Amino acid sequence: MAQNRPSPVTGDTPTGRIRRLHLIAAARVEAVRPASEQQVTDIVRVTVDDEVDTRTFRAIVADLSDRR
């Protein structure tokens, strides 16, 4: 039976939007397998396209760089 609860990945809320952007960036980083943190930064920059503040941007880059 299907449950009537919102998806945790929807962009309906600011938190949901950031989570969605983070997941998209993570998928792109995984697909590209960048060799440096600068490449991760470039991928995240293209993905978030000024939709998040600097602190959130840096947090996403740091998280995805740690996964390399």
The answer to whether the pTM exceeds 0.85 is no
Return the domain boundaries, the chain.
Answer: 34-68
What are the C-alpha distances in Å from 36 to residues 9, 29, 48?
27, 11, 19
- pLDDT one-digit tens code per residue, 9-67: 555 688 889 999 999 999 999 999 999 999 999 999 999 988 899 999 999 999 999 87
**What integer pLDDT is reported at residue 19 of this predicted model?**
93
Burial class of 61 by CB neighbour count within 10 A (0 to 12, 13 to 18, 19+):
buried
